Structure 1
Amino acid sequence: MRLKKFSLQLDPLPATYAPSNKWSNKDMDPVPLDMRTWRWWHIVAYWISDAFNVPTWQLASAMIAVGLGFKASIAAIVVGQLFISIPMTLHGYIGAKLHIPFPVLARSSFGFYFSYFAIVSRVILACFWFGIQTTTGGNCVREMIKAIWPSFASFPNNLPASSGATSQSMLCYFIYWVIQFPFLLVHPSKIRYLFILKSILTPICGISLMAWAFHKTGGGPIFSNPATLTGSAAAWQWLTGLNSVLGQWSTLAINIGDFTRYARGPREQYIQPFVIPLAFTFIAFMGISVTSASKIIYGEYHWDPLQIIALWGNSPGERAARFWCAFSFTLATLGTNIAANSISAGNDFNALLPRYLNIRRGSILCAFIGGWVLVPWYILASAPRFLGFAGGYTVFLAPIAGVMSSDFYLVKKRKVSVPAMYRPKSIYSYWHGINWRALAAMLVGCIPCFPGFLRNINPSIGNRNVTYMFSISWLYGYFITAAVYWALSKLFPDTRSLLDSMIYEDDDVDNIQDHESIEGVGSDGALEKRDESTPKGVEAGFN
């Protein structure tokens, strides 16, 4: 058998609608019928697996540590997840309906070239958080090894303190990175099996930890820990916690379509507004319960579950429990890193260089940039300002989500042309590839919160008053930007992009029996390139 010669440039397969592979490739094209395999239970498994991870556990637990009571912390989680499920469901519908990735959809809202701002914003954060999650995964591996060989705790260190790491931590980081790498090569349409496995195994760990906490404390004291903040201080801290909940998933709220595009149809993702609040509230309840128990058991709050299991003894039973919990969090981190970061970055890199990068190559690039180039272990150890930058980036992401929601549902009323999104000269070119209405609306959504964003990076900038607006930056950015964009589009409509109907060949996939009966769909379920000379090409907004 003759091996296929490797080429840096992807095979020049004819793109479905794009004039050349400079603007699209197989991974950017609408998902063919035979790859639309996600059902509603895969969406449920996706969110359960995504909810159970160390950052979510820490976020909920940290609210207790900063002075909020048990009920207030849970309320912030519930309200935050209810709000974030709005863009998740709205944008999830678009992906499941049109079967296109976020970078392609962004062209219809922002303009063909201005959409690159949203894409680059997303890929930067994806690479950064990939590295941070990989560092967390390395910490999980460390606890697994210590559970097997307790002597590993005294592993000699040959690295200087200025490196931000130890020989032990770097070894564990490398082991986790290597374990994680093969999963990056799995296509998104097939990665659902990992989410199913994670959604079954990881909650068992969380329930076990919570049972341990109740057993150690008797349960009652966990819920009786009083809040240390009162009055306006408690109110603003609650809003800050709410904003943190929203900010944690603000990136995925933009590009959830990268996953729902593999669903059979829009109905499969309608479960999101129910499963998201339930899954995250349950995980938050676990985290808050265990964190509150750590105060009673150890005399101080430990909101990192890895810190808690590291305090367990070295008896055979305790070592087995430590290994199981560390393994569960390793699996949890793996699933979250793939779902929230590597696949998203793969789609974004794919859109930036479709001639050379597909999702798999983009994910590999993310693994090297986020995993090594950005030296995440050093950032965590010595760059709190950069962490403040990444954590506050929701100032930009919420307005992006607001524009997308408003454009598709309020302005265009779901009547878009998929073929036009693949051509730089189409109805979505707007003004030189820029939709100025989106730019103006984003400025309104970003500028009032920007001083608080700067103070989040450097507390010496400005005064404390600017943090108040930053505490509601996601709510303000999403809803105000959506309203301003709608108003500008009503006052100054772009009539070319306002269509009478959605232009896409296979609207009703669920009722399709014969693939060959669909215009533009071949017998193998793959979308074929449309004849550009037909009148329908003109109707689709081609120039």
Structure 2
Amino acid sequence: MLDTTQPLRDPLLWNPDIAPLPRQKRDWTWVTLAAVWMGMVHNVVAYEAAAGLMAVGFSALQCLLIVWTAYCSLFAAMWLNARAGTEWGIPFCVLIRAAFGPRGAVIPVAIRAVVAIFWFSVQSYAASEALNAILASLWPAWNSLHLPGGGASLGLWLSMALIWGLHALVAAHGMHRIRNFELVAGPLVLVVAGAASLWAIRICHGTGPLFSIPSTVHGADLALKGGAAITSIIGIWASFAVNIPDLSRFVRSQRDQAIGQLIGLPVTAIIFTPMSILITSATIVTFGKPMWNPVEILTQIHSTPLTLVGGITIIIAALSVNVAGNIVPAAYDLLSLFPRRLDFDRAGIAVILLGLLAAPWMWFDHPQTVFALLGILSAVLAPITGIMLADYYLVRRQTLDLSQLYTFSGLYAGRHGWRPSALAATALTLLLILPPTLLPAGTFPGQDAINAVSWFLGIITGGSLYTALNRSPKATTPGHDARETNGLSLVNPARTRNR
């Protein structure tokens, strides 16, 4: 337990749930982290990603290569950013203070919270529609349930209440329950997907028709569309590259977090993608048309046992990605914004309620608007990712003074709690990568090329500008003289300027 009498610790910046986690409480192994990622990677969005790629004209083999490249890129960024969480036991909302300052950190923390709550809202509503369709297939009278005096579906509202309640049940009682849930959910989804793939191979007497379709994208068009496809898949998880310390702070060693993420990200994704293509091939043979929506497949099979197993798996997959990928980071973000009013459980419930207030049923009928907004938010988070990496590895040299991350004065305070170098690097990078995203296609030459590599460009530019702004002949690199003091791991701070 931290010594709350320390004069450096400001109550506006400290809360027991965002305090450095003692090493004896960091008990996640690589199996735990791999299971968490399995539960997140196996979701409807990732399942349907291959559909979008093949619709563009890529072959099945090219789809696998694109997915592998995207997830390997994500793994590299997340592995590097996760190291600080594992080393120091702090979440993203605290780590970001080193680069942006205690007041400046509010900006990236608030952006990340908005992204997480919005993703939670949209994916929960998708899960609600899935549950509604499944219940209707099991009980035909379900579709006839309507609210009095209107045409609104009572069945859908009841499904939403069940889904939101399940999220609250899993998220209650902190990370211990979440960890236990993910240990079951991740492998379970993979097992069911594997069984469905075996069914598909039997139906198709092989890999199926989709694997025989040749690519229609060639030459320069292949490079441009391939880059855009890689960036699009990265966009699904770009926000998590920022806040991966929220999970890695619970992992017992750097080896565990590296192996866990390697198995959970690129390895699992490259296994899961051909499964989705195989299952869709089977729908062509069985129903005469490709079905990329797993809910649609269940409703067409007309088998109660399969509908129950498949439906429960879809719901578990949605819960798994939402709890670990959205509720946890958003809860930590809200904790850092309101440390004196919230604990982790209350923050989790707040995320769930805010997700409902986001009225996802109004957005869900306009998916292009949803993904355009999320694409913009992911582009905004790219320079933040680059700045975090540059700050920790190039400016701080992997050395932090944790006590000063919880105060408005000292090493990380900058100017009145704001560090201009991070703010300037973010603003300049956004001036480069946001206009191509916001302006209509074809507005200026090279626009498509910038959009295709916007995430990579944002990380490299943001990190490079931040490093350049923090170069100082007086800067020194301290030795890693860490010691445990009242739960805080303290080191001699780097004497870099508070730019």
Q: Structure 1-normalised TM-score?
A: 0.84
Q: How does 1:180-195 map to 2 (within 5 A)?
A: 180-195=167-182
Equivalent residue in structure 1 for 2:42, among 52, 64, 72? 52
Q: Aligned equivalents of 1:18 and 1:141: distance in 2?
A: 50
Q: How does 1:424-443 map to 2 (within 5 A)?
A: 424-443=408-427
Q: How does 1:152-163 map to 2 (within 5 A)?
A: 152-156=142-146
Cα offset for 1:179?
A: 2.0
Please state if 1:353 is matched with 2:338. Answer: yes
* Kept in 1: contact 2:137–2:299 (CA 8 A): no
Please state if 1:238 is matched with 2:222. Answer: no
Number of matched pairs: 493
Equivalent residue in structure 2 for 1:366, among 351, 354, 370? 351
Q: How does 1:68-107 map to 2 (within 5 A)?
A: 68-107=58-97
Cα offset for 1:177?
A: 1.1
Distance change (3 Å), C-alpha of 1:467 and 1:380 = farther
Q: Please, what is the CA RMSD of the aligned residues?
A: 2.7
* Structure 1 residues 144-184: Cα deviation after superposition (integer angstroms, max 9, x where no partner): 423532443454576868xxx73332221122112221112
In structure 2, what residue type is equivalent to 1:322? T
Distance change (3 Å), C-alpha of 1:472 and 1:270 = same
Equivalent residue in structure 2 for 1:470, among 451, 456, 463? 451
In structure 1, what residue type is equivalent to 2:19? D
> Secondary structure in 2 aligned to 1:191?
helix
Partner in structure 2 of residue 136 of structure 1: 126
Distance change (3 Å), C-alpha of 1:407 and 1:13 = closer
Distance change (3 Å), C-alpha of 1:160 and 1:16 = farther
* Kept in 1: contact 2:386–2:458 (CA 8 A): yes
* Kept in 2: contact 1:189–1:262 (CA 8 A): no
Distance change (3 Å), C-alpha of 1:419 and 1:199 = same
Please state if 1:391 is matched with 2:375. Answer: yes
> Secondary structure in 2 aligned to 1:226?
coil
Cα offset for 1:387?
A: 3.3
Q: How does 1:107-506 map to 2 (within 5 A)?
A: 107-156=97-146, 166-218=153-205, 219-271=207-259, 272-313=261-302, 318-370=303-355, 372-382=356-366, 384-455=368-439, 459=440, 462=443, 466-490=447-471, 492=472, 495=475, 498-502=476-480, 504-506=482-484
Mean CA deviation greater in 409-418 or 213-222: 213-222
Q: Aligned equivalents of 2:148 and 2:479: distance in 1?
A: 65
Cα offset for 1:90?
A: 1.0
* Kept in 2: contact 1:251–1:397 (CA 8 A): yes
In structure 1, what residue type is equivalent to 2:449? Y
Distance change (3 Å), C-alpha of 1:363 and 1:312 = same
Distance change (3 Å), C-alpha of 1:132 and 1:494 = farther
> Secondary structure in 1 aligned to 2:52?
helix
Where does the alignment leave 5 or more consecutive residues of structure 1 unmatched? Answer: 1-11, 507-518, 521-526, 531-535
Distance change (3 Å), C-alpha of 1:236 and 1:537 = closer
* Kept in 2: contact 1:110–1:435 (CA 8 A): yes
Cα offset for 1:234?
A: 3.4
Mean CA deviation greater in 425-434 or 69-78: 425-434
Cα offset for 1:34?
A: 4.3
Q: Aligned equivalents of 1:538 and 1:460: distance in 2?
A: 51
* Structure 1 residues 212-247: Cα deviation after superposition (integer angstroms, max 9, x where no partner): 322222224231023343443333222121001211
Distance change (3 Å), C-alpha of 1:369 and 1:13 = farther
Q: Structure 2-normalised TM-score?
A: 0.91
* Kept in 2: contact 1:158–1:166 (CA 8 A): no
* Kept in 2: contact 1:38–1:189 (CA 8 A): no
Cα offset for 1:394?
A: 1.7
* Kept in 2: contact 1:62–1:303 (CA 8 A): no
Distance change (3 Å), C-alpha of 1:205 and 1:158 = farther
Distance change (3 Å), C-alpha of 1:262 and 1:190 = farther
Distance change (3 Å), C-alpha of 1:419 and 1:159 = farther
Cα offset for 1:297?
A: 3.9
Partner in structure 2 of residue 524 of structure 1: none
Q: Aligned equivalents of 1:357 and 1:72: distance in 2?
A: 47
